[in-house]
């Protein structure tokens, strides 16, 4: 049973399919095929991929293989794929790249939806 709060009132429902979710900008359900592929990395293959021990190297190899598959799907090179922890980090990285390439002597400020995207601009040179 799920519970949510709306307009000073609690609502209960038994299944997430009992309502229409309209905030796909915030999060989306994970495809079951992705969940199936990822489960080992949540339970048994959870090593730090940056480590030099066998456990970490095994995870690094799986990440590299996944990058090759993704690169092939988007007609890219696996070395061009950058993993981020989420949308805010990805947007910050993109904005820094755009600014550095197109406006190396200026600081740009974009209208953004998340205030968390502002701190990285402090790192730009003046």
Q: Does 2 score more than 70 pLDDT?
A: no
Q: Which of 70, 62, 20, 69 is nearest to 44 (CA)?
A: 62
Average pLDDT over every residue of 44-53: 92
Question: Which pLDDT score is estimated for 116?
Answer: 53
pLDDT band at 74 (very low <50, low <70, confident <90, very high): very high
């Amino acid at each position: 049973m799920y519970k949510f709060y709306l307009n000073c009132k609690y609502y209960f429902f038994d299944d997430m399919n009992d309502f229409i979710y309209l905030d796909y900008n915030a999060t989306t359900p994970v495809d079951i095929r992705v969940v199936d592929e990822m489960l080992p990395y949540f339970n048994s293959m959870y090593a730090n991929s940056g480590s030099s021990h066998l456990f970490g190297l095994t995870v690094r190899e799986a990440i590299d293989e996944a990058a090759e598959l993704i690169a092939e799907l988007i007609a890219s090179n696996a070395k061009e794929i950058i993993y981020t922890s989420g949308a805010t980090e990805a947007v910050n990285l993109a904005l820094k790249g755009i600014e550095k390439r197109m406006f190396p002597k200026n600081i740009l400020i974009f209208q953004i939806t998340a205030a968390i995207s502002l701190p990285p601009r402090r790192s730009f040179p003046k």
